[in-house]
Amino acid sequence: MSERGTPSDQALAAAPDSASRATACIVLADGQVFYGHGFGATGVAVAELCFNTAMTGYQEIMTDPSYAGQIVTFTFPHVGNVGVNSEDDETADPFAAGMVVKWDPTEPSNWRATGDLPDWLSRRGRIGVGGVDTRRLTRAIRLQGAPHVAIAHDPDGHFDLDALRAKARAFPGLKGMDLARDVTCAQSYRWDEMRWAWPAGYVRRERPGRRVVAIDYGAKRNILRCLASAGCDVTVLPATATAEDVFAHDPEGLFLSNGPGDPAATGEYAVPMIREVLERSDMPIFGICLGHQMLALAVGARTIKMNHGHHGANHPVKELATGKVEITSMNHGFTVDSQTLPPGVIETHVSLFDGSNCGIALADRPVFSVQHHPEASPGPQDSFYLFERFVGSMRDGARRESQD
């Protein structure tokens, strides 16, 4: 777009069919404009733009706290066609700032649907943009890195492009941003709901299990369900919990959850807690996503910002010890720099897309973590063994204590 707001050839190429007047637009900080059809809430949202290649799970993606500060472009064209339902929410409300799709959402066609996507977004104050050339937008993200954008939805199609461009350019970016404080729980709570199973759905864990403290940096419900299904009695603590808070619950294991933002920023308060637990206890520790990055920082490694991150449900990850390849779900814009892993810390998993680090373990202790999401089940069960490994480590620890 020009300074006067007259569409350039580039902007016109990004516009929807001329027969349909645009009611939404996406303005990149570099000045590119993509027009589309708005749905969901009206207004403006400003965030980092990423793309997700998953073919299913749009509701889970939108309610994943790890997407705080981001707008998600879905590369799969059909989004919204199975509607929404309360069982598929990973948290009570969406954390992604908005969504961009190829085709406008259709009427839901699924027996589990209790509502449609546009109404669900509208009630929760999230903007959707349809009718966009998502392939072209994805190429822009890959080439220039995850851009800062402003998206706007106005049923009358009135857009102040200069103001939107200024908002996009003013967005500070995720580097250096601690978002875990914004998405974590306000106080501790217990969790006993297990994974969904036909025909009962979600059921509660009734038998006693291994005592686990889970640190909530932005925990997804299904991670907690997997812990409960694997045999854990879970107590969830806020992201800012101290080592004293952890030990007060007399845990047999510590879990570090997923979450959004720059791990180095969250590490300012999370790393000291993890290091103290490592110094004072031999308890097993298991981390996922941001929790993986927190553990890596705690043992002396560093994290770096990726060009456009990994977001999708088709990422092949190799377990180096066995050679096994797992199909995984990923959602991260930062990664552990494997070149900075200190002696005694083993790289356990790598991405087969780009060779980036996807897992670490301490050589002499039951402490490990992975970058991918074993609870999301794209494999569908390729990675559940990680939860079982965690519980097995606690069981082994209890057995050694009884023998001493």
| pLDDT tens-place string over residues 131-181 | 999 999 999 999 999 999 999 999 999 999 999 999 999 999 999 999 999
d(Cα 196, Cα 135) in Å, to the nearest integer?
A: 34
Give the pLDDT confidence score for residue 404 in this predicted structure. Answer: 66
Q: Looking at 3-7, 25-29, 181-185, 391-395, which range is the least confident one?
A: 3-7
3 pLDDT more than 50: no
What architecture does CATH give domain 180-403? 3-Layer(aba) Sandwich (3.40)
Q: What angle do CA 190, 289, 55 make, to 5 degrees?
A: 100
Portion of the chain with pLDDT greater than 70, in percent = 95
Whether 378 has a pLDDT exceeding 90, the answer reads: no
What's the CATH fold of domain 9-170?
Glucose Oxidase; domain 1 (3.50.30)
- Quickly state the pLDDT bin for 10 (edges 50, 70, 90): very low
For the cut 80, the answer to whether the pLDDT of residue 36 exceeds it is yes
Predicted pLDDT at 115: 97
- Does residue 267 sit in helix, strand or coil? helix
Q: Which amino acid is at 112?
A: R
- Residue of 226, 289, 310, 319 marked catalytic: 289
Does the annotation mark 308 as catalytic?
no
Confidence of residue 5 (pLDDT cuts 50, 70, 90): very low
User: What pLDDT, in 10s, does the model give residues 184-231?
Assistant: 999 999 999 999 988 889 999 999 999 999 999 999 999 999 999 999
Q: Does residue 17 carry a pLDDT above 60?
A: no
pLDDT digits (tens, 9 = 90+) for 97-121: 999 999 999 999 999 999 999 999 9
More confident residue, 15 or 22: 22
Q: Which tens digit of pLDDT belongs to each residue from 341-376?
A: 999 999 999 999 999 999 999 999 999 999 999 998
Q: How far apart are CA 144 and CA 25, in angstroms?
A: 19
The model's pTM is 0.94
Catalytic annotation, pick one of 48, 90, 326, 375: 375
The pLDDT value recorded for residue 380 is 83
Residue 27 in this model has a pLDDT that exceeds 80: yes
210-216, strands of its sheet edge to edge: 189-191, 232-238, 210-216, 253-256, 285-288, 367-370, 357-362, 345-351, 303-319, 325-336
User: What's the rounded mean pLDDT across residues 296-310?
Assistant: 97
**pLDDT of amino acid 377:** 83
Among residues 153, 292, 311, 373, the one annotated as catalytic is 373
pLDDT digits (tens, 9 = 90+) for 76-100: 999 999 999 999 999 999 999 999 9
pLDDT digits (tens, 9 = 90+) for 311-327: 999 999 999 999 999 99
Which pLDDT value is given to residue 37?
97
For the chain, the domains span 9-170, 180-403
Does 373 participate in catalysis according to the annotation? yes
Question: Regarding predicted confidence, which is higher, 15 or 73?
Answer: 73
pLDDT exceeds cutoff 60 at 14 = no
Q: Is the pLDDT of residue 282 over 50?
A: yes
Looking at the DSSP bridge assignments, the partners of residue 315 are 328
Only one residue has tokens 């009611």, namely 23
Q: What share of the chain is helix, strand, coil (3-state, %, to 5)?
A: 30, 30, 40
